[in-house]
């Protein structure tokens, strides 16, 4: 992993050092999985299921994305998906739709920032 990418991700709020430790110190493997996250279908699935108000499905995507982002140290994305997962775990009649919509917007913004960092540091 190049130092500029590491620095930009840390400025973004990512916990790179802890994530690399989870990858047994193997930075190359970590970088590989970080890049694979760009093709992860959970982000798209979450956005689509929230738009369709299919909150049961949205919970599955939020929960999966929460786990992935925790493992690769993307704290800004983890924080949002963890909150979404907590809200979506409830019965669909009690879902705070306004909160979910706001969190989805925040998630899109943070995900776009991450994609831009990755694109600029290929």
- Give the residues of the chain that fall short of pLDDT 50: none
Domain 3-120 CATH assignment equals 3.10.450: no
The full set of domain ranges for the chain reads: 3-120
pTM summary value = 0.93
Distance CA 122, CA 119 (A): 6
pLDDT, position 122 = 80
As a whole number of Å, the CA-based R_g of the chain is 15
Question: For the segment 68-81, what is each residue's pLDDT rounded down to a tens digit?
Answer: 999 999 999 999 99
């Amino acid at each position: 992993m190049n130092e500029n990418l590491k620095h930009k991700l840390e400025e973004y709020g990512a916990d790179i050092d802890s994530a690399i430790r989870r990858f047994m110190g193997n930075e190359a493997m970590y970088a590989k999985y970080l890049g694979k996250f760009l093709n992860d279908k959970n982000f798209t699935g979450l956005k689509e299921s929230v738009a369709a108000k299919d909150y049961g499905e949205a919970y599955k995507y939020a929960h999966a994305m929460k786990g992935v982002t925790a493992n690769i140290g993307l704290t800004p994305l983890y924080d949002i998906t963890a909150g979404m997962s907590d809200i979506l775990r409830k019965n669909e009649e009690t879902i705070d739709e306004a909160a979910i919509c706001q969190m989805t917007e925040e998630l899109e913004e943070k995900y776009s920032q991450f994609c831009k960092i990755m694109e600029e540091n290929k």
